[in-house]
Amino acid sequence: MNLSELTFDREGLAAAIACEDPAFEAELCEEAYRVKLANVGKEVYLRGLIEISNICVKDCLYCGIRKDIHCQRYELSEDEVLASARLAAQRRFGSVVIQGGERTDPAFVRKITRLLKAIKEIEPAEDGDRPLGITLSLGEQPREVYEEWFDAGAHRYLLRIESSNPDLYHKIHPEDQLHSYDRRIRALYDLKAIGYQAGTGAMIGLPFQTAGDMADDLLFYKEFDAPMVGMGPYNPHPDTPLTLSGIGYPSAERRFALGLKMIALLRLLMPDINIASATALEVMDPLGRERGILSGANVIMPNITPEEQMVKYNLYDRKTIRSDINTLLSQITIGYGKWGDSKHCSAQHHT
């Protein structure tokens, strides 16, 4: 296959995803990088990632911090979260992401509300920088909770749909109301209706997943009109039911190549959105996130969780995670001190 044969319908996208020719994959990533430069420029935006807790009420079959797994649990104190947020402001990251296991208990909900208000008070490091922008990634919540957090200062929310194929979704989650595909989609639309920049994404290279499923994921982002997408390779955790089931999945090399290819195809499909270069890429290759940028992504989330707790947020084997960015690559220019909202958002707001 070559680039001139690529079409953006389901069949064309699936053919591109299934094609394992390295020359085609390299050509595709180069083209996506060109399209990125033309549409969103060279700048890469940073979001300091704060992993607030690995306590979760859910039991997703692939996740290393699922409720039923044996691991050491932690929850950052409010002071620890604020210290990390101050660090992000000092380093001029522009915004932070608070991510964690799903919890809907009132004590946790109120804690997030207090933190949002306190983070909004943090002084920017330089004149002209905006106060920190805040993205949340805390799973499915009742609409009133999303509203409370929006009113307290969160303006972006990342809720991956994990897979746009309901059958596949149900194969990788327990069968109960807490893990319902419809509930997750509803939550995503609630976020959008409230006014959040609602980002989504899916895992790449899952057991059972076909090239057609991945093509449908891309078309889902387009249909949802996502201003931001964070998708990344599936990384098996040894103690999860999905890994222990022994069901096969693509090799690490293939999942990595698929991760880059999905970024590239999405950049061609939605030229002006924000696309994150996922942490999962970095775990597979020390320069994985930078390679994601060179394939069309424009957001990086350096991890600023205190190190002692970071190691416990063990979704999968993450020994290589870094909080710095390799700025040696001449192609990367960091958008310091900026929120880095997607051009797509401003285009939406002006119409």
CB of 316 to ligand SAM, least distance (A): 4
For residue 141, state whether it binds ligand SAM (rule: CB under 6 A). no
Query: Are 95 and 47 in contact, with CB atoms under 8 Å apart?
Result: yes
Q: Which of 111, 237, 291, 344 binds ligand SAM (CB under 6 A)?
A: 237
CA distance 279 to 232: 8
Q: Which is nearer to ligand SAM, 94 or 101 (CB)?
A: 101
Query: Are 113 and 148 in contact, with CB atoms under 8 Å apart?
Result: yes
Query: Are 316 and 236 in contact, with CB atoms under 8 Å apart?
Result: yes
For residue 279, state whether it binds ligand SAM (rule: CB under 6 A). no
Task: Give one DSSP letter per residue of 207-267, joined into a string.
Answer: TT--HHHHHHHHHHHHHHT-SEE--EE----TTSHHHHTT-----HHHHHHHHHHHHHHHH
Q: Which of 48, 94, 101, 232 binds ligand SF4 (CB under 6 A)?
A: 101
CA distance 145 to 311: 29
Number of shown-chain residues binding ligand SF4 (CB under 6 A): 9
Q: Which of 316, 318, 332, 335 binds ligand SAM (CB under 6 A)?
A: 316
Secondary element (H or E) of residue 43? strand 43-53
Q: Residue 31 to residues 66, 93, 270, 280: CA-CA distances in angstroms?
A: 38, 28, 13, 23
Rounded to a whole number of angstroms, the CA Rg of the chain reads 19
Q: Which of 155, 160, 261, 344 binds ligand SAM (CB under 6 A)?
A: 160
Stretch that binds ligand SF4, among 30-38, 63-71, 126-134, 193-201 (CB under 6 A): 63-71
CA distance 232 to 263: 9
For residue 164, state whether it binds ligand SAM (rule: CB under 6 A). no
For residue 288, state whether it binds ligand SAM (rule: CB under 6 A). no
For residue 231, state whether it binds ligand SF4 (rule: CB under 6 A). no
For residue 47, state whether it binds ligand SF4 (rule: CB under 6 A). no
Residues at the contact surface with ligand SAM, assessed by CB under 6 A: 56, 62-63, 99, 101-102, 137, 139, 159-160, 162, 203, 234-235, 237, 280, 315-316
Residues at the contact surface with ligand SF4, assessed by CB under 6 A: 56, 58, 60, 63, 65-66, 101-102, 139
